[in-house]
Amino acid sequence: MTSLGNGILPVGSIITWALEINPDDNYLECNGQVVDGNKYPKLYALMHNVPDYRGVFLRGLGGNSASLGELQGDAIRNITGTMGGSASDKAGLWDYGTGVFYQFNLGRSSVEYSGQYYNYVSQGMGFDASRVVPVANENRPVNKAVRYFIKAK
């Protein structure tokens, strides 16, 4: 008989583990390894390979989650901004940028056209997500690393 109330976990339960050493041999690390049917017959009856949870975040079922056991790809929230302006001798083509957009000036120049000299401002608009959100070389929530183990016997 299994009871979660007295600390006994049923075979197939997943635990988080924050230590470098493994728990006892009743648990297998969730790294995709093959289940030895002779050593772990109850777990083998449930699955032939343990799940591979290395480098992924586990998420409760419901809301925007994928179906149970399905790996859901990464995504980010939309990042927006506006830019605009008008071309004239006093104002450049891009007068402003908000959100992720920013204006940069390359300097003023003068150009001759049909005997007349015209001043213009060399400008551009840049896009920088770090102006709005924290950035890294991956998308991730706030996190702390743990290891996942499955109750094998």
The whole-model pTM stands at 0.66
Domains of the chain: 1-60+143-153 (3.90.1340.10), 83-131 (no CATH)
Instruction: Kindly report, residue by residue over 50-105, the tens digit of the pLDDT.
Output: 999 999 889 899 998 899 989 998 888 888 888 777 665 555 555 677 888 887 77
Instruction: Give the confidence band of 149 by pLDDT, cuts at 50, 70, 90.
Output: very high
What is the side-by-side order of every strand in the sheet holding 147-151? 14-17, 147-151, 27-29
Q: Which residues pair with 149 in a beta bridge?
A: 15, 29
Q: What is the pLDDT of residues 19-36, one digit of tens each?
A: 999 999 999 999 999 999
